Amino acid sequence: MKAWIADENGHKLIGAVPPGWTVEVYSGGRADLPSDPATLEFWNAPFLATGAVVGLLERMPALRVVQLMSAGADAWVGRLRGDVTLCDARGVHDSGTAEWAAAAVLAHLREFPAFARAQAQRRWTQRPTDELAGDQDPAEPADGDGAGRGSPGRAQ
């Protein structure tokens, strides 16, 4: 069984693979194929792969599984043979995405970039900023279904 994974660090973390398995790194682009794609059976595709990378499917007659690293699979739907299993990563990034969104909103409201620029210039800047407490987003559902739509909004 031959597998391609998208990240050199991931390859290092895998450690020993079972007998009969070969794991190679393919991070994207047509020029850097690690081996003949015709014998590839498992593909952990590069993150957010589109275009030329997805176009490699026509050169992979032995392919059995495609594992994505994102929840979005639009570039892949309808492009795979019926006998190829497509696995997405729905839920994998939920907590990190929700945390990033919360941090970005707070940084914007509290004007962190302006304060960081002032600090870099060795200036003390003091001024009132917006706050999140008490604000209600009119687009937010009344049932408290998280910070937005979809699984990242429900991450805990």
Summarize pLDDT for 53-97 with one digit per residue, the tens: 888 899 999 999 999 988 888 888 888 999 999 999 899 889 998
CA distances from 155 to 97, 107, 149 (A): 9, 20, 11
Q: Where are the domains of the chain?
A: 2-87, 94-154
Query: What letters, b where the CB count within 10 A reaches 16 and e where it falls short, cover 8-44?
Result: eeeeeeeeeeeeeeebebbebeeeeeeeebeebbbbb
- The pLDDT value given to residue 141: 57
pTM of the complete model beyond 0.85: no
**Confidence tier at 152 by pLDDT (50, 70, 90):** low
- The pLDDT value given to residue 150: 66
Q: Is the pLDDT of residue 138 over 90?
A: no
Cross-strand pairs, 23? 3
- CA atoms of 92 and 56, how far apart (whole Å): 25
